[in-house]
Amino acid sequence: MSTAPEGSTSDRRHAPPTGPESAAAVVGNGTVVIPSPSKASHRLRLNPSSDHDPESYDDLQNQVEFSPMLLSSLEKYLPPQLLSLPRDSKANYMRDILLRYSPEGERTRVLKHRDYRQRILASYKPLNRELYTLHPPSFFVPSFLEAIKENTAESFRRIMTEPSPGIYVFKMFQRSTCQTLLSEVENFERWVHDANFRIMRPNTMNKYGAVLDDFGMEGMLSRMMDDFVRPIAKVLFPEVGGSTLDSHHGFVVEYGIDRDVELGFHVDDSEVTLNVCLGEQFSGGELFFRGVRCDKHINSEAQSEEILDYCHVPGYAVLHRGRHRHGARATTSGRRVNLILWCRSSVFKEMKKYQTDFSRWCGECQRTKRARHKLSIATTKLELMKRERKVAS
Ligand SMILES: [Zn+2]
């Protein structure tokens, strides 16, 4: 079962709908009329103006429903006469084109989710402001920082253990990071209770926990993925888009007697998942793994080497492919809180649509391929023997 987040928006935002007159964009000191008479004729060029240096749209994140990165990459494809226009005009032009390809239902969902986030941010008061900007030296342990700085396969392997193929464990968060995150999570829950606010839980399987991105931590987690997860994933998980991770879903889960108790067997809606235990005192709650599978083989039996039960240690991270089947055993006493970062690659998702053989990462596809290979060798041998016998007789 795949756990699609209820309110996940990837990284798109929504802007207020504009009327038919929006082809004329009002910008700064006057009105710039975009040359085309109707939006339907807005077009991009086939070949990019490769010497053009595109602008940054980062600060428009809350005003435009498309990712600032997408706008920056599209800019080179604008008709040359538009390249020198003010940034807002270019943004509007590209937006009109993109809207033609974006389904209405999806846009409404994105709009609703943006309003939901704004309602939280307008009334939620963070307890630990320092958590909202990533400050690596105080967040991470020195060994982890050094490995990232060195940025080689050897430096990553040095700080990691691999208790089962494709599952990497390493010390990541400082004790103080865990504690401040825990107190912030408590603060979320208190606020949700006191304000009687109905929040969207992290995914369809957890009734407790909170989406950190909805509480203002999106920027911090983006940076964590860009600067700290992607370099590792590029080396360890290249076959599932590790080097092209470009969006995330970040949340905390809470387990215990008065929280979620356990989590059934599932795969994540991610290419790569980072799971960091924040604490606190608990028993039980082991993470169990049963091998990586593609959609077709999602229910196939696990091989003995794929079976792993892992006990969480506060401050330690587990990094695995999203398609690595797993679940969490019951937390039998105390309370356990984990930070989870689902990292996704739009490039990999797109490429996957056109593939049928996933033997580079699916354990079952690998086995099938090996078996086919063996069979074909055996058949060839038999054929050769028959021919030899014929020649001899
Ligand atoms: Zn498969």
For 241-254, give the DSSP string: TGGG--EEEEEEEE
**The whole model's pTM is what?**
0.75
Which range, 170-179, 264-273, 375-384, has the best average confidence (pLDDT)?
Answer: 170-179
In contact, 71 and 57? CB cutoff 8 Å: yes
> Which range is least confidently modeled, 151-160, 241-250, 325-334?
325-334
44-53 long-range contacts (CB < 8 A, ≥24 apart) are 44/74, 44/77, 44/78, 44/79, 44/97, 45/77, 45/78, 45/79, 45/80, 48/76, 48/77, 49/76, 49/77, 49/78, 49/80, 49/83, 50/76, 52/76, 52/83
Between the CA of 30 and the centroid of ligand 1 the distance, in Å, is: 58
Q: Give, for 27, the enclosing helix (H) or strand (E).
A: strand 24-27
pLDDT of residue 293: 95
Band of pLDDT at residue 20, cut at 50, 70 and 90: very low
Rounded to an integer, what distance in angstroms lies between the CA atom of residue 275 and that of residue 113?
25
Please report how many Cα atoms fall inside a 13 Å half-sphere around the Cα of residue 272, on the Cβ side: 33
Per DSSP, the residues of 159-191 read H-EEEETTEEEEE-B-HHHHHHHHHHHHHHHHH
Q: What percent of the chain has pLDDT over 70?
A: 89
pLDDT one-digit tens code per residue, 302-329: 999 999 999 999 999 999 999 999 999 8
> Mean pLDDT in the chain?
86
Q: How far is the CA of 358 from the centre of ligand 1 (A)?
A: 5
pLDDT > 90? residue 291: yes
246, burial (CB in 10 Å: exposed 0-12, middle 13-18, buried 19+)? buried
The rounded Cα 77 to chain-centroid distance in angstroms is 27
**What is the 3 CA–ligand 1 centroid distance (Å)?**
19
User: Residue 260's pLDDT is what?
Assistant: 85
Tokens at residue 254, please? Answer: 């809470």
Q: Between 156 and 393, whose confidence is greater? A: 156
Q: Which residue has the higher pLDDT, 51 or 23?
A: 51
Which pLDDT does position 159 carry in this prediction?
98
Residues with CB under 5 A from ligand 1 (ion): 294, 297, 358, 362, 364-365
What's the CA-to-centroid distance between 205 and ligand 1, angstroms?
24
Q: What is the 168 CA–ligand 1 centroid distance (Å)? A: 22
Q: How many other C-beta atoms lie within 10 A of the C-beta of residue 307?
A: 12
The 3-state DSSP class for residue 306 equals: helix
Q: Indicate if the pLDDT at residue 39 is higher than 70.
A: no
Contacts of 175 (CB under 8 A, 6+ apart): 314, 315
β 2-3/263-268 pair status: parallel
What distance in angstroms lies between residue 300's CA and the mean position of ligand 1's atoms? 9
- 326 C-alpha vs ligand 1 centroid, how far in Å? 16
Instruction: Compute the distance from residue 234 Cα to the ligand 1 centre, in Å.
Output: 22
| Cα 298 to ligand 1 centre (Å) | 8
Higher pLDDT, 60 or 160: 160
Span 65-113, pLDDT tens digits: 778 888 998 999 999 999 999 998 999 898 888 888 777 777 788 888 8
What pLDDT score was predicted for residue 15?
Answer: 32
- Of 368 and 101, the structure prediction assigns the larger pLDDT to 368
Q: What is the pLDDT of residue 251?
A: 95
Q: Is pLDDT at 8 greater than 70 in this prediction?
A: no
Ligand 1 centre to CA of 263 (Å) is: 24
Query: Could you report the per-residue pLDDT of 207-239, keeping only the tens digit for each?
Result: 888 999 999 999 999 999 999 999 999 999 999
Rounded Cα distance between 113 and 105, Å, is 12
Answer yes or no: are the C-beta atoms of 126 and 216 closer than 8 Å.
yes
Q: What is the mean pLDDT of residues 282-305?
A: 92
- Confidence at residue 34, expressed as pLDDT on a 0 to 100 scale: 33
If you measure from the C-alpha of residue 166 to the centroid of ligand 1, how many angstroms do you get, rounded to a whole number? 16
Distance CA 98, CA 304 (A): 48
Q: Where are the alpha helices (DSSP H) in the chain?
A: 68-74, 87-101, 104-123, 136-139, 142-150, 153-159, 175-195, 218-224, 230-236, 346-352, 363-392
